[in-house]
C-alpha cells in the first residue's frame, strides 16, 4: 500500500507523517519563541540605547540581531502549522513569505557571522596589512548592500507554488520548474558549506598564530579564538546537522523510497527546529566579539553582584577608545586601545 502511495501524484506530502512528533516540535518552537523574543528585544535595546552600536563599530552585530528577529517572527506561525498536522501553511502566500524570511534570516546570519570571523582573521594573521573588512565595518551602506544581495536568493521560493514549499524530486511539469527547484537547493547547501570551509580555515590559522606568539600578545589572540570558536559552535549546532539531513532526505526522495523519506522528513524538520536556536546562541557571539557590549548588557539587566564580578572596572559606554599609560625611561606614553 505504501508503494502505491509513493507513486500517487495526488498524495498530500504537506501533511505530517507523524502528528505526535510534530506536536512536540511545535511546543519546542513555542519555547524558542518565548525565550528568543525577550532576549532579542533586550539585546536590541542595549545595542541602540546603551551601547550605541553606530559609534562602536558594531554595525554587523546589529544586523545579526535584525536577522534573528526575522526568525523569531516566523516561529509562532510555524508552530501553529505543525500543531495542526501540516508542514506548511495552507495559504500559498503565507508559505512563500515564511520560507523567504527563513532563507533571508539564514543567509544574513551566516553572511555577517562569517564577516566577523574574517575580521578577526585579518587582525591576527595579517596584522599590519590593510584590512578591507575593518573598512566595511565602518560603513552602514555595506550592510544594506549585503541585504540587497541576499534578496535574490529568496526568489526561487516565490516564483511558483512549491509542494510544501519544498518540491525538489517530485514530479515536475517543465524543465523550468526543475531548474528553479534545483537552484533553490544549490543555494541552501552552498550558503552553509562554503562559509563553513572559510570558518574552519580562519580558525586553524588563528590557532596556529596563537601558538607562535609571545606571552604579551596572547590575550588578544585568545579573544580572537573565542570569537571564531563561538561562530563554529553556532554553525555546528544550528546549520550543519540540518544540512546533512537535507542531503539524506533528497537522496531518499530521488530514489522514491517513501517509507525512508517519511522518517527522513521527521529528522530533517526536527533538526530545522533545532537550528532555530541560533536566535538564542547569537548573543554569546556578541559578548565574545565585543566586551563593551557584554559590559553594557550586564550593567543594564544583571543584578549588582554579577556586575561587580563580570564588568570591566574601566567600562565606559561613552568612549570607544581608552588609553593605557606605560613608562619608558623618564617618559610616560599613552597607548590607545582601539576596541574593547
Q: What is the pLDDT of residue 25?
A: 94
Quote the strand ranges of 4-67, DSSP E: none
Q: What is the pLDDT of residue 79?
A: 92
User: 209, 205, 187: which is closest to 197 by C-alpha?
Assistant: 205
User: How far apart, in Å, are the Cα atoms of 153 and each of 73, 142, 226, 339?
Assistant: 20, 18, 31, 34
Q: What is the pLDDT of residue 250?
A: 86
Question: What are the pLDDT digits (tens) for 52-90?
Answer: 887 777 888 888 898 898 889 889 999 999 998 888 877
CA-to-CA distance for 224 and 273, rounded, in angstroms?
30
| Number of residues written out for the chain | 340
Strand, helix or coil at 63?
A: helix
User: 127, 124, 126, 136: which is closest to 58 by C-alpha?
Assistant: 136
Instruction: Scan for cell 533545532, then name that residue.
Output: 274
Q: What is the pLDDT of residue 3?
A: 41
Q: What is the pLDDT of residue 169?
A: 53
User: 235, 251, 18: which is closest to 109 by C-alpha?
Assistant: 235
Q: What is the pLDDT of residue 214?
A: 57
Contacts of residue 200, Cβ cutoff 8 Å, sequence gap at least 6: 232
To the nearest 10 degrees (0 to 180), the angle between helices 278-289 and 218-234 is 170
Q: Parse the chain into domains and list their residue ranges.
A: 11-337
Q: What is the pLDDT of residue 277?
A: 92
User: 339, 55, 126, 53: which is closest to 220 by C-alpha?
Assistant: 339
Query: How far from the centroid of its chain's Cα atoms is residue 246's Cα?
Result: 18
CA-to-CA distance for 285 and 297, rounded, in angstroms?
13
Contacts of residue 242, Cβ cutoff 8 Å, sequence gap at least 6: 268, 271, 272, 274, 275
Q: Which three cell numbers stand for residue 328?
A: 619608558
Q: What is the pLDDT of residue 95?
A: 80
Chunk the chain into consecutive blocks of 10 residues (it has 340) and report each block's average pLDDT, rounded to whole numbers: 39 74 94 94 90 79 88 91 86 81 86 84 74 66 85 72 54 60 82 89 83 63 78 88 90 84 90 91 83 85 74 56 43 41
CA-to-CA distance for 120 and 107, rounded, in angstroms?
20
CA-to-CA distance for 290 and 325, rounded, in angstroms?
22
User: 227, 235, 192, 232: which is closest to 121 by C-alpha?
Assistant: 227
CA-to-CA distance for 311 and 140, rounded, in angstroms?
29
CA-to-CA distance for 43 and 195, rounded, in angstroms?
25
Q: Which CATH architecture has domain 11-337?
A: Up-down Bundle (1.20)
Amino acid at each position: 500500500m505504501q508503494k502505491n502511495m509513493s507513486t500517487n501524484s495526488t498524495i498530500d506530502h504537506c501533511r505530517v507523517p507523524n502528528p505526535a512528533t510534530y506536536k512536540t516540535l511545535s511546543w519546542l518552537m513555542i519555547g524558542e519563541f518565548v525565550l528568543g523574543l525577550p532576549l532579542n528585544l533586550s539585546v536590541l535595546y542595549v545595542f541602540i540605547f546603551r551601547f550605541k552600536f553606530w559609534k562602536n563599530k558594531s554595525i554587523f552585530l546589529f544586523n545579526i540581531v535584525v536577522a534573528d528577529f526575522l526568525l523569531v517572527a516566523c516561529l509562532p506561525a510555524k508552530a501553529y502549522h505543525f500543531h495542526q498536522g501540516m508542514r506548511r501553511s495552507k495559504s500559498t502566500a503565507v508559505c512563500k513569505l515564511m520560507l523567504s524570511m527563513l532563507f533571508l534570516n539564514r543567509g544574513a546570519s551566516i553572511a555577517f557571522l562569517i564577516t566577523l570571523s574574517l575580521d578577526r582573521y585579518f587582525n591576527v594573521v595579517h596584522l599590519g596589512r590593510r584590512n578591507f573588512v575593518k573598512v566595511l565595518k565602518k560603513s552602514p551602506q555595506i550592510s544594506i548592500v549585503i541585504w540587497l544581495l541576499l534578496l535574490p536568493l529568496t526568489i526561487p521560493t516565490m516564483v511558483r507554488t512549491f509542494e510544501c514549499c519544498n518540491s525538489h524530486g517530485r514530479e515536475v511539469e517543465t524543465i523550468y520548474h526543475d531548474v528553479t527547484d534545483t537552484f533553490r537547493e544549490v543555494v541552501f547547501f552552498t550558503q552553509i558549506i562554503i562559509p563553513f570551509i572559510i570558518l574552519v580555515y580562519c580558525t586553524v590559522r588563528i590557532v596556529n598564530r596563537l601558538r607562535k606568539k609571545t606571552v604579551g600578545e596572547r590575550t588578544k589572540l585568545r579573544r580572537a579564538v573565542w570569537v571564531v570558536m563561538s561562530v563554529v559552535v553556532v554553525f555546528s549546532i544550528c546549520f550543519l546537522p540540518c544540512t546533512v539531513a537535507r542531503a539524506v532526505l533528497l537522496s531518499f526522495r530521488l530514489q522514491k523510497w517513501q517509507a525512508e523519506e517519511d522518517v527522513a522528513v521527521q529528522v530533517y524538520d526536527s533538526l530545522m527546529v533545532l537550528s532555530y536556536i541560533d536566535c538564542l546562541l547569537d548573543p554569546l557571539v556578541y559578548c565574545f566579539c565585543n566586551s563593551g557590549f557584554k559590559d553594557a548588557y550586564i550593567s543594564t539587566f544583571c543584578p549588582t553582584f554579577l556586575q561587580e564580578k563580570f564588568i570591566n572596572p574601566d567600562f565606559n559606554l561613552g568612549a570607544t577608545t581608552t588609553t593605557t599609560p606605560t613608562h619608558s625611561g623618564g617618559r610616560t606614553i599613552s597607548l590607545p586601545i582601539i576596541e574593547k
